[in-house]
Amino acid sequence: MAVPFININGKILPADKASLSIDNRAFRYGYGLFETILVVDGAIQLAELHWQRLFKGLLALYFTLPKHFTEQALEEAVLQTVEKNELSSLCRVRLQVYAGPGGLYDTVSQQPLFLIECFPLDAQILTLNENGITTGIAERLNKSIDALSNLKSTNALIYAMAARQAKNNKWNDALILNDKGNIIESTIANIFWVKNKIIHTPPLAEGCVAGVMRAYLLQQLPALDYTVLEKPLTADMLFSADEVFLTNAIRRIKWVKPINKKNEDVQVTSAIYKQLFMH
């Protein structure tokens, strides 16, 4: 659902009156990053992890950061936009930071520009799903492993095409392979699997996005006495897993319906959800 106001570079404007330059390099080349942020009761969830990822990515993309472009300034801009749209109790925010006008070489400025949009959410999206997510592996799409692989980039064509395959196949989500043929993530989430009560997830070296909920789980689970290993995920390992779940900053944890077996064991997934998100 569209909301009345957006924020462009610190100015809150009616969404139907806003415009961007047609020669911005996000439009031309996908040159930019974005954060998908959950706001609950006027507070950004996992804020520190979001800002760490964003600023690390901006440096990786050779942005020049002016003094006023700080975590605090961005957080204030996000919350002001949320409040203006009367969505402080619960909403999803998309913060996109992008390169301004220019070509590949004739760059006018390397300072970042930003756009903030917010969208209402149903509180049900935060709960553990009753029915398992249906998935399949996207075909003829392999994500390369390189210096950009872990970034949450606006250059997201592979995810858009995988999502189209999911829709065509009536899946809830599609799984992405890297150029080694290993499963690394879904179109919108990181992937975890459980085998013999040990929790696994692909390492960043496999090319998955460095998800903030992924990072949060890797921080928290060892303290809850779970064994967590980062290792590559093959299709055979996925099919033989005891449990599979997906994570992202908005949906938190969602369990995946087994692809090749009838049992739907979610004991570990459910326990993690209760320990981390039910207070």
Which of these, 80, 169, 77, lies nearest to 114 by C-alpha position? 77
- State residue 107's pLDDT score: 72
- Considering only the C-alpha atoms of the chain, give the largest distance between any 2 of them, rounded to a whole number of Å: 58
Angle separating helix axes 47-60 and 212-220, nearest 10 degrees: 120
Classify 2 as helix, strand or coil: coil
* Cα-based distances in Å from 126 to 45, 97, 110, 119, 259: 12, 26, 37, 15, 24
Print burial letters for 250-262: b (CB count within 10 Å at least 16), e (below 16): bbbbbbbbbeeee
Would you state the torsion angle of the CA atoms of residues 88, 90, 96, 97, taken in this order, to the nearest 10 degrees?
A: 50
Per-residue pLDDT tens listing for the chain (279 residues):
667 999 999 999 999 988 988 899 999 999 999 999 999 999 999 999 999 999 999 999 999 999 999 999 999 999 999 999 999 999 999 999 999 999 888 777 899 999 999 999 999 999 999 999 999 999 999 999 999 999 999 999 999 999 999 999 999 999 999 999 999 999 999 999 999 999 999 999 999 999 999 999 999 999 999 999 999 999 999 999 999 999 999 999 999 998 766 556 799 999 999 999 987
- State residue 6's pLDDT score: 97
Q: Where are the alpha helices (DSSP H) in 104-147?
A: none
* Cα-based distances in Å from 14 to 2, 120, 250: 11, 17, 25
* Cα-based distances in Å from 225 to 186, 243, 266: 27, 18, 18
CB 160 within 8 A of CB 122: no
Residues in contact with 141: Cβ distance below 8 Å, sequence separation at least 6, in sequence order: 158, 161, 162, 165, 176, 177
| Domains in the chain with CATH codes | 5-121 (3.30.470.10), 135-277 (3.20.10.10)
Q: How far apart are CA 188 and CA 28, in angstroms?
A: 23
Classify 187 as helix, strand or coil: coil
pTM of the model: 0.96
Q: How far apart are CA 22 and CA 25, in angstroms?
A: 9
- State residue 1's pLDDT score: 61
